[in-house]
Structure 1
Amino acid sequence: MAHNDWLASNKTAFYEQVSSTVTYLSDELTRKRMGIEGAHTWLNTNFFAKYQAFKTAYEAWLNPVTRTRLLTSVLDDSIDALVPNYREVYTGLLKNNPLVTDFDLISMGFPKRSKVDHHPNPAPVTIPEFELSVSGPRTIRVDFHDRGAENHAKPHGVHGVNLGWAILDSPPEKWTELTNSAFDTKTPYHFSFDGDSKGKTLYIALRWENTTGQKGPWSDIQSIVIS
């Protein structure tokens, strides 16, 4: 494996790097301090699980007795599956998060921030909460607010909410399966569908977006049947 950025360039260094990140983010109090506890479902499903598959293949690959071409191929595939999610952990949850210090980043195997990484209006770090309801024939209403907020005011510096959505036959395993996008600056948001959508399931996740287009972490995915 070879990379020109912050990712380690060989298997052993990559294993040590990503293991440091997993150990750091496995601590619940650390996640809460960083304001990313709401992303634990995504971390468990898309990052920690893929790390375990990589770890199993890597530890078997270390043994010369079991290091076959097939096992090397399995290890390479596990790295390819892990890397996109590892990048998302860094860029989506940590890099522009003002609650994450340079010490945190270095401890997790990431580079510390350069001066150009500091923004007057940093990326959002909180996660929207939302409720889904049927407001009319084939019309879905999305009421959203900041997690823990007592009113509908958006977090400081936030322009609006980015809604990822898709109509699917089975629950999505990751946010990238929500291939459609919508945006709104004020709650509620309404989806209107045609007659062919009746009885189908709509899956939705939300994240805040600031005035410069930077996006915060995704919420958990919710679903509702279109009626």
Structure 2
Amino acid sequence: MAVAPVAWALDKLQAENECYLGHLAPVLLKTYQRLDDIVRSKSENTFGWIIAECLKDGLRERFTRIFELDTDDAKQELLATVTLPWFKLRWIPKGHEAKRNEIKTLMIREALKFYKPLDCAKRSEVNAWSDLICEDAEQPEENTDAESAVELECLKYLQDSADSIAGLTAYPTVKSMSVKLNTPLPSSAPAERLFSYAGMVLRPKRSSLSDELFEQLVLLKLNFKPPN
């Protein structure tokens, strides 16, 4: 059972659906915690905890920047996680309030790069009453408006209890950042699996199969789901 946490992590990170960069940090932290639990509950009669300790040390060495929540070296991984609605800041362990605030500040700062001001049409609607504003009145700087708008949007997003990906629609700046960071790379695994099934079907004793029947058998093998 010492490798069970690692097997669980691989299943999570190799999923074909809903697998994003933002899953990396929470999965690593949870895997490390489970390995640590195995090490702490070590028994004289079993030696699985030794394997768990080696795996834990290996993870720590390989992903130090993520375990330390380094906002410089692990900036992309942390932002990708925070911009997924089901994680936000809820995955950060207790006792890391300083890091939590640091990541929140990082998110607001990086979100400014994705901020898109109102277009001209919307500006004309907003400024329809501009003739009532005194000409000598102090006008807010555009940069200040952008910073305030982005900060407000990010804080509202983090406080929102919605945890579905569709909820990002209400936060366009956060959504743009999430799409940028969490767009997965295309995987060749499904195509490779199809070729693997084809090799199972087209054996030497079945070399006389017609193309149509061969295709049907491969698709049947690929899509068959045994009853639970």
Structure with the largest fraction of strand: 1
TM-score normalised according to structure 2 size: 0.28
TM-score for the superposition, normalised by structure 1: 0.28
Which has the higher Rg, Structure 1 or Structure 2? 2
